[in-house]
C-alpha cells in the first residue's frame, strides 16, 4: 500500500475488529465506551461537563481545589501521569500545586483521542513553561508504555469517575496495573462518583438539552469512520437507566426499527426493533466498595474527601 492510500483508508486493527465482533455477538450487544472519544466525542463530553444536570465535574473540581494543594505538598510529586486526560481542565489544579511545591515537573497525559490530546498538550505546555508535557496516545484499558524515565515520586491521576466505566473485576485489574508501576512514595489521585438517589444519576445521563444523546450516538459515527461500519446513527434512541442491584447507570442505543449492520472483516449483525446496544456502564461507589477495589489492587486510601451533599469523592491512595 502507498503512504497516500494508507492515510486515506487505514486498515482497521484486527484486535479492534475482534472486540467489536465479540461485543455485537453477545445476547446483550455491547460496544466499548472508549469509542465515544474522537475529536467530536471529546468535545461533546466537554459540553456534558458544563450541563446543569451533570453534577460530577463541578463537584470534583471544587474538591480538588479544596484538598489537592495540601495532598501535593505532602507527596511532593515530580511527575504526574493522568489516565484518560480529556481536556485536562481539572489537571491545572494539580499542576498549579506542583509548580508551587517544587517549581516544576513532568506531566504525562494519556488519552485515546490523539487529535484532542495534541491540542490539550500544546495548550498546557504554553501555560506551564516550567512543566515538561509528554503526551501519550494510548488505550488505558490495554497495557500501554510510559516514558522510560519518569521522575519520582510520581503521582498517578484517574479523575472524573472514569473508573466507573469498569465493572469491579476490570476496575481492580486496571488499578493493579497502575499499582505495578508505583513504588514507595508514589500516589494515586482518583475521583469517584458516589451512590445516591437514582433519579439524580438518571437526570445527569438524560440531560434536557440532549447533549448526552448526541454523545451516545457519536459512537456509531466513530465506528463508521474507524471500522468502516455502516451504522445509521439516526435510527437509534438514547436510553440511560440506573440498575440499583449493580449500583450503576447504563447507556444504551435502542434500534427504532430492525437494523442490519455490516462491519467489513467483522461480520453482519442484526438488531430487532427495540433491541439495544449497551455503550457504557458507569458504576457508582461508596467508601466500602472503593476500599475493596483498592485492596484488590494492592492499594489503600490515605486521604478521602467528599462534598457536603455526598455526591462525589476524591481520594489519595498509596501502596498498601
Ligand atoms: C467520563 C466516564 C466519567 O461515566 O459519567 C458522561 C462519561 N457518559 N455522560 C461518566 C459520560 C455519559 C463519564 N465518564
DSSP string, 155-172: EEEE-TTGGGGS-HHHHH
Is residue 86 predicted with pLDDT exceeding 80? no
CB 263 within 8 A of CB 13: no
Mean pLDDT (whole number) for 243-264: 98
In this predicted structure, the answer to whether residue 6 has a pLDDT above a threshold of 60 is: no
Averaged pLDDT, 118-144: 92
If you average pLDDT over residues 231-250, what whole number do you get?
98
| 172 Cβ contact partners less than 8 Å away, ≥ 6 residues apart | 293, 296, 297
Query: Is 160 touching ligand 1 by the criterion CB < 6 Å?
Result: yes
Task: Tell me which of 47 and 149 has the higher pLDDT.
Answer: 47
Q: Average the pLDDT over 36-65 and give the result.
A: 96
86 Cβ closer than 6 Å to some ligand 1 atom:
no
210 pLDDT band, cuts 50/70/90, is very high
The rounded percent of the chain whose pLDDT value lies above 70 is: 97
Contact 131, 151 (CB under 8 A): no
At 255-307, the pLDDT tens digits run 999 999 999 999 999 999 999 999 999 999 999 999 999 999 999 999 999 99
User: What is the model's pLDDT at position 28?
Assistant: 98
Nearest CA to ligand 1 atom 3: 162
Name the residue with the closest Cα to ligand 1, atom 2.
162
Residue 41 Cβ contacting ligand 1 at under 6 Å: no
Phi first, then psi: give them for residue 180, nearest 5 degrees: -65, -25
pTM of the model: 0.94
- Residue 9, pLDDT above cutoff 70: no
Tell me, what's the pLDDT at 5? 47
- Asked if residue 249 has pLDDT above 90, the reply is yes
- What is the whole-number distance in angstroms between the Cα of residue 101 and the centre of ligand 1? 32
Cβ of 282 less than 6 Å from ligand 1 = yes
How remote is the CA of residue 304 from the centroid of ligand 1, in Å? 22
Query: Which residue minimizes the CA distance to atom 4 of ligand 1?
Result: 282
Distance of CA 303 to CAs 148, 290, 291, Å? 29, 12, 12
Distance 295 CA to ligand 1 centre (A): 24
pLDDT of residue 7: 54
pLDDT of residue 1 exceeding 50, the answer is no
Amino acid at each position: 500500500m502507498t503512504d497516500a492510500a494508507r492515510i486515506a483508508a487505514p486498515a482497521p486493527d484486527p484486535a479492534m475488529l475482534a472486540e467489536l465482533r465479540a461485543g455485537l455477538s453477545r445476547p446483550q450487544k455491547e460496544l466499548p465506551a472508549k469509542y465515544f472519544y474522537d475529536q467530536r466525542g471529546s468535545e461533546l463530553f466537554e459540553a456534558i461537563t458544563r450541563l446543569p444536570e451533570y453534577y460530577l465535574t463541578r463537584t470534583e473540581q471544587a474538591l480538588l481545589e479544596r484538598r489537592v494543594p495540601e495532598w501535593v505538598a505532602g507527596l511532593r510529586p515530580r511527575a504526574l501521569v493522568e489516565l484518560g486526560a480529556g481536556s485536562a481542565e481539572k489537571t491545572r489544579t494539580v499542576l498549579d500545586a506542583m509548580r508551587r511545591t517544587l517549581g516544576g515537573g513532568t506531566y504525562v497525559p494519556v488519552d485515546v483521542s490523539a487529535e484532542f490530546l495534541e491540542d490539550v498538550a500544546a495548550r498546557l505546555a504554553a501555560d506551564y513553561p516550567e512543566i515538561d508535557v509528554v503526551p501519550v496516545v494510548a488505550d488505558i484499558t490495554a497495557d500501554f508504555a510510559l516514558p522510560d524515565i519518569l521522575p519520582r515520586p510520581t503521582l498517578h491521576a484517574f479523575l472524573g469517575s472514569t473508573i466507573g466505566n469498569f465493572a469491579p473485576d476490570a476496575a481492580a485489574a486496571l488499578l493493579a496495573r497502575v499499582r505495578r508501576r508505583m513504588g514507595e512514595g508514589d500516589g494515586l489521585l482518583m475521583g469517584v462518583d458516589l451512590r445516591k438517589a437514582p433519579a439524580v444519576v438518571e437526570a445527569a445521563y438524560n440531560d434536557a438539552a440532549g447533549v448526552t444523546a448526541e454523545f451516545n450516538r457519536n459512537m456509531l459515527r466513530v465506528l463508521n469512520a474507524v471500522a468502516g461500519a455502516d451504522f445509521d446513527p439516526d435510527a437509534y434512541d438514547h436510553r440511560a437507566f440506573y440498575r440499583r442491584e449493580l449500583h450503576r447507570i447504563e447507556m444504551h442505543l435502542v434500534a427504532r426499527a430492525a437494523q442490519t449492520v455490516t462491519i467489513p472483516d467483522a461480520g453482519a449483525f442484526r438488531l430487532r426493533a427495540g433491541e439495544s446496544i449497551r455503550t457504557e456502564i458507569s458504576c457508582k461507589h461508596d467508601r466500602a466498595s472503593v476500599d475493596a477495589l483498592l485492596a484488590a489492587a494492592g492499594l489503600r486510601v490515605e486521604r478521602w474527601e467528599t462534598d457536603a451533599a455526598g455526591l462525589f469523592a476524591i481520594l489519595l491512595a498509596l501502596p498498601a
